[in-house]
Amino acid sequence: MLLQGVATPRPGVVAMQLGLPLLRVGLLLGLLGAAGCGFGGEANAPAPTLGTIGSTAVAPDDTSAAASDTATDVAATAEGSGGDAMPTTTTGMPTTTIITGWTGATHPLTGLPAVDGVADRPALAVKIGNNDTKSLPQIGIQSADVVYETHIENGVTRFLAIFQSEVPLTVGLVRSARSSDIDLIGNLNRPVFAYWGSNQGVGDEVAEAERQGTFVPVSTNGEGQAFFFRDEARGEAPYNGFLDAAALVASAPGGAPDALFDFGPLPSSAVTTKGIGWRTPRREIDWVWDHATARWLRFHRGAPLLDETGVQLAADNVLVLYVDYRMSDADLESPQSITTGSGDGWLLRDGTITGVTWSRPFIADRWSLADDDTGDRVNLRTGRTWVALARLGEGILLDPERIAELVG
């Protein structure tokens, strides 16, 4: 399937790994074709309350998102193929705790045991920068239940992190909203959406979604601005914006979301793989299976993507969902992902890969995944999930040579 637009393998990337059953050759060829910390005096400031958020306003220093992102990413590219400047030390890998035989309540977005009960708080969606060296390292993202990664301008990507089972004190670096975000969080039972401004067109879309009850927007103007601050130690705006996430959620109205995915056993058609890559014009993203931690490790431009403590970011599930993009009506320079309808994709869990078909009829609907081979429902492993919203032809399998380059 999906052999049109086959991605040309780079050196170190092959179409399939040796020793796989012939039954799965088509699947693998399809992959190629389908291809809490406070800052300064802010921690001691009185905690604001959310109350009633007024109309969404535009932050003056992040309104020209496309132009700013373009200029800075070009500068990052000029630094050479060595990639982004990131911390070079690592500490212990965060792990996912699984309680065998648990029959009690589970967290809706991870499926993990809610030993103290499901927190009666709304989900928090935060727009986090990933498009420039100055955005690294991100703060608090390792606590997210789900992270969406979408195209923005000029072949780079940006994160939309969803927190509910665990909310860190601080999240950053907070960046501006995009049209894609509005539909993505329409199935989270009126979450809080935190972002650092937008252009006027996206701001109008956000305001309309608020009127329809899709989410509660909190941005850098109006009553919600008390939850945002800048840390000059991280450099100049717009690369130093942070959110007092825990304080915001503690004062926010609403309750927990429903599950976005099904959790359960490994699909019967899953086959072993060691890693995949996502290639955009200015992004080289890799996920590699780590047997020691039983998680997928994230790499960015050939180097581990680390959080603020030096820990490499990792996921229990990685979903690559192939979606269409069109130019946003609100910003003709910005692509907008189409995340309703259906399409092809890939699930990575437990060191395996499974071809899936995703469907989501309306923005209020959860994601539904079916096995490409059997048509059976596909379950995720309990834990944290990263979702890559890729264009057709951007996915590749990694061969041992590439994996050795990444992990040594």
Q: Is the pLDDT confidence value at 316 over 90?
A: yes
- pLDDT higher than 70, residue 122: yes
329 and 389 inside one domain: yes
Separation CA 279–CA 274 (nearest Å): 17
Q: 54: pLDDT confidence band, cut at 50, 70 and 90?
A: very low
Same domain, 226 and 325: no
Q: What angle do CA 267, 273, 279 make, to 5 degrees?
A: 110
Task: Give 325-383 pLDDT, tens digit per residue.
Answer: 999 988 888 899 999 999 999 999 999 999 999 999 999 999 999 999 999 999 999 99
Mean local confidence (pLDDT), 14-36: 37
pLDDT higher for 177 or 49?
177
Q: At residue 205, does pLDDT exceed 70?
A: yes
- If you average pLDDT over every residue of the chain, what do you get? 80
Residue-level pLDDT at 347: 98
Strand partners, 150: 158
200 is a domain residue: yes
- Tens digits of residue pLDDT in 244-282: 999 999 999 889 999 999 999 999 999 999 999 999 988
Q: Are residues 305 and 353 in the same domain?
A: yes
pLDDT class of 195 with cuts at 50, 70, 90: very high
Are 30 and 45 contained in the same domain?
no
Q: Please tell me the predicted confidence (pLDDT) of residue 78.
A: 32
Judgement on whether residues 276 and 240 belong to the same structural domain of the protein: no
Clarify whether residues 241 and 319 are in a common domain.
no
Confidence of residue 222 (pLDDT cuts 50, 70, 90): low
> What stretch of H or E contains 65?
helix 65-78
The whole-number pLDDT of residue 96 equals 53
238 and 279 share one domain: no
Q: In the predicted model, is pLDDT for residue 6 greater than 90?
A: no
Q: Which of 284, 124, 294, 102 is nearest to 193 (CA)?
A: 124
Same domain? 60 vs 31: no
Confidence of residue 111 (pLDDT cuts 50, 70, 90): very high
Question: Helix or strand or coil: residue 137?
Answer: coil
Q: Which residue has the higher pLDDT, 95 or 2?
A: 95
Quick one: pLDDT at residue 272? 96
Lowest mean pLDDT among 237-241, 285-289, 293-297: 237-241
Check whether residue 197 and residue 297 sit in a common domain: no
Name the domain count of the chain.
2
Does some domain include residue 2? no
Contact 159, 128 (CB under 8 A): yes
Six token digits for residue 256: 């927990």
DSSP 1-18: ---TTPPPPPTT--S--T
Q: How far apart are CA 150 and CA 161, in angstroms?
A: 11
What's 375's domain CATH number? 3.50.90.10
* Domain span including residue 373: 22-35+260-407
Which is higher by pLDDT, 25 or 206?
206
Domain presence at residue 206 = yes
